[in-house]
């Protein structure tokens, strides 16, 4: 049975004080949900806030997990400004976003580097969330499937079926990230199905058990329809995760969905 989860990507927003308040607000909002509406929730604050967030989360009831937005491909060494996976784990992180389109587009991260980062996260005993997705131009020229499969295959080649079995995949069409434009449930399902089919070619159990999240302008108002799709197992949420009530409503949608087989 696949796990359902919702991840909040806070990007480079907030401040120590604002993010402390956001965690408190989110914990309260999630506490108010009925048992049937509870799902696994992970937040990804900016890296310098991780230790403070970990300390705060430890003192709270409920089960909000801690994730990071990026990681170095290297285990240690002369990499000024980078943070190693083992350091994130020490800070209390259990999950790391890898290959987010903003990293690929703004910081020039290619498939090989992203695959090395997936390996680094696994080596440190954490869960990589491999983000894949096409640009608007690629969608318009019919390249969506080949782009996301190329991105997935690069990670498969690097860490094998065993590594992907300890990973999460997130389909995030670049044209839907932070734009307010969401993929229709049918468009998202089509790509999720293609990704799962590729996993099934490698191993049936891998396909059955790997969570594939959707990300791209998920809101409380569209979450039910997206999460109702058979191959969508939850969400990777940017903007809407900065509002505790909105985000907890999205988490409740994920819990209620019949997504996981
Ligand atoms: C993201 O940053 O991963 C994301 C999906 O952002 P948004 O929800 O704001 O589109």
* Residues 70-87: tens digit of each pLDDT: 999 999 999 999 999 999
Catalytic pick among 73, 100, 102, 134:
100
**pLDDT tens digits for range 110-164:** 999 999 999 999 999 999 999 999 999 999 999 999 999 999 999 999 999 999 9
Residue 178 Cβ inside 6 Å of ligand 1? The answer reads yes
Q: What is the mean pLDDT of the chain?
A: 95
pLDDT higher than 50, residue 223: yes
- List all residues 6 or more positions away from 168 whose beta carbon is below 8 Å from its beta carbon: 5, 95, 127, 128, 129, 130, 210, 211, 212, 213
State residue 81's pLDDT score.
96
* CATH superfamily for domain 5-256: Aldolase class I (3.20.20.70)
State residue 181's pLDDT score.
87
What mean pLDDT do residues 16-35 have? 95
**pLDDT tens digits for range 29-66:** 999 998 888 899 999 999 999 999 999 999 997 689 99
CA of 26 to the centre of ligand 1 (A): 18
pLDDT higher than 50, residue 68: yes
The C-alpha atoms of residue 101 and residue 174 are separated, in whole angstroms, by 6
* Measured CA angle at 176 (ends 170, 179), to 5 deg: 135
- Maximum pairwise Cα distance, the chain: 50
pLDDT higher than 50, residue 261: no
- Give the orientation angle of helix 185-202 with respect to helix 220-227, to 10 degrees: 40
Q: Where are the domains of the chain?
A: 5-256
State residue 61's pLDDT score.
79
Q: What are phi and psi of 66, to 5 degrees?
A: -115, 130
Residue having the nearest C-alpha atom to atom 2 of ligand 1: 238
Using CA atoms, how far residue 243 sits from 34, 52, 78, 249, in Å, is 19, 19, 38, 10
CA of 183 to the centre of ligand 1 (A): 12
CA of 78 to the centre of ligand 1 (A): 32
Residue 45 Cβ inside 6 Å of ligand 1? The answer reads no
What mean pLDDT do residues 7-23 have? 97
Who wins on pLDDT, 50 or 261? Answer: 50
Q: Can you read off the two tokens belonging to residue 34?
A: 């009925």
pTM of the predicted structure, to 2 decimals: 0.96
């Amino acid at each position: 049975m696949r796990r359902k989860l919702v991840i909040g990507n806070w990007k480079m927003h907030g401040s120590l004080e604002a993010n402390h308040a956001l965690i408190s607000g989110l914990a309260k909002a999630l506490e108010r949900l009925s048992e049937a509406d509870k799902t696994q929730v992970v937040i990804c604050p900016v890296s310098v806030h991780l230790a403070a967030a970990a300390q705060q989360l430890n003192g709270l009831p409920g089960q909000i997990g801690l994730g990071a937005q990026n990681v170095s491909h290297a285990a240690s060494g002369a990499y000024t400004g980078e943070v190693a996976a083992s350091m994130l784990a020490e800070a209390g992180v259990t999950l790391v976003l890898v290959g987010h389109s903003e990293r690929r587009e703004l910081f020039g991260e290619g498939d090989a580097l992203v695959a090395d980062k997936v390996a680094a996260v696994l080596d440190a005993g954490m869960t990589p969330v491999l983000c894949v997705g096409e640009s608007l131009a690629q969608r318009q020229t019919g390249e969506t499937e080949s782009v996301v499969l190329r991105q997935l295959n690069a990670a498969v080649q690097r860490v094998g079926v065993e590594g992907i079995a300890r990973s999460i995949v997130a389909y995030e069409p670049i044209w839907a990230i932070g734009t307010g434009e969401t993929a229709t449930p049918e468009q998202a399902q089509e790509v999720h199905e293609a990704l799962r089919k590729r996993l099934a070619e490698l191993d049936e159990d891998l396909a059955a058990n790997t969570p594939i999240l959707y990300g791209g302008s998920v809101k409380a108002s569209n979450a039910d329809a997206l999460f109702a799709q058979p191959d969508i197992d939850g969400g990777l949420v940017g903007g809407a995760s900065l509002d505790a009530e909105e985000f907890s409503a999205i988490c409740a949608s994920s819990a209620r969905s019949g997504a996981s087989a």
